[in-house]
Structures are given as C-alpha cells and as structure tokens.
A and B are shown apart, each in its own frame.
Chain A
C-alpha cells in the first residue's frame, strides 16, 4: 500500500506539472508550484517509510518550510510590485 501511495503522489505531481505548463495565468502556475511542493513533502515521507529509513522526514520538514516562505515571497512580489513596500493597503 505504501508503493501504491507513492505512485498516486507521483501521478499528482505529473498532473500538477501539466497545469503549471499550460496554466493561462501566473496564479495557476503558482498554485501548481505550491501543490508540487506539498506533494514532494508527502513523497519524501512515503519514500522514507518505503525504504525503512524515516530520517527522510527531516528533509520533508525543511522542504515544507522553504516552500511556504517561497510562495509567500512570490505572492508579495506580484501584489506589490516589489519585495519591500507596505502590506496593508490594497491597490
């Protein structure tokens, strides 16, 4: 069942990659990137259990933290036009 879950997560990554390559707006691509990041965390955890080496969970944690920070930074860039700037006022 672990290998079936690994295959399902790999198929999820492939479909999200399709959406990232043909998404019409930049937000579609960002959503697909975030989904690929989450699926990669799941894939690392499952792969560690499949090989009997659960030390891979540390890699999954670090990957998740990097994913979150990256997505928030890119969103702030697209909203404000820069990475500095104020957060509160819309437009």
Chain B
C-alpha cells in the first residue's frame, strides 16, 4: 500500500515538473503577450496542481495535508484571476494581439 502511494506520488511530481518546464519554455519562446499568458497559466494550474498532489500523497492525513490543500486552493483561485486581470488590463491599454498577415491563408476550422 505504501509502495503504491510512493509510486503515485513520484509520478505526480514528475508530471508536475514536466508541466512547469513546458510552461516556462513556452513563456520564453511564444511570440505574443497573450500567448505567453496562456503558457504561464499552464505553470500555475497544471504544474502547481500536480506538484501539490504529489506532496499531498506523501503527507497523508495530517495538518500538513490541510495546509497543502489551502495552498492549492489559494493558487487555483488567485492565479487565474491575476492572469485574467493582466490580459484585460493589457487589452484596455491598447496592446493588440498578434494576428495572421494579410496575404496568409486563414487556417481552416
């Protein structure tokens, strides 16, 4: 039983680390501010969620698990709100999204 929980926790930590790295590389390489917001919110939802899930499986039913849940709820409520407010402030400030060029074929839906 303990071995199963250890394996699940390690897998969850690994997946969370991969999501964090993917989001960070996307933040560095995406061409536009709005696409960078998308990449950064990957870190704040999937990466943080999986890493906290892995720690939660290691903690068991203790006070530490309650604190981890509080941190997870805080991240899940606050970070998308901050991202949304940021994109909205940028749009109201007149920052245009990067769209397709005039001569380019639009992508088929």
Contact = CB atoms under 8 A, between A and B. Distances in A.
Contact of B16 (A5, A28, A34, A75): A5
B32 to A, nearest CB: 10
Interface residues of B, number: 47
Nearest to B43: A35
Interface residues of A, number: 44
Interface of B (DSSP majority class): helix
A75 B81 CA distance: 11
A52 to B, nearest CB: 11
Contacts, number: 140
Contacts of A60: 71
A16 B44 CA distance: 13
Given A34-B40, A64-B78, A8 B20 contact: yes
Contact of B20 (A12, A32, A45, A79): A12
Interface of B: 9-10, 13-14, 16-18, 20-21, 23-25, 27-28, 33, 36-37, 40, 43-44, 47-48, 51-52, 54-55, 58-59, 64, 67-68, 70-71, 74-75, 78-79, 81-83, 85-86, 89-90, 92-93, 95
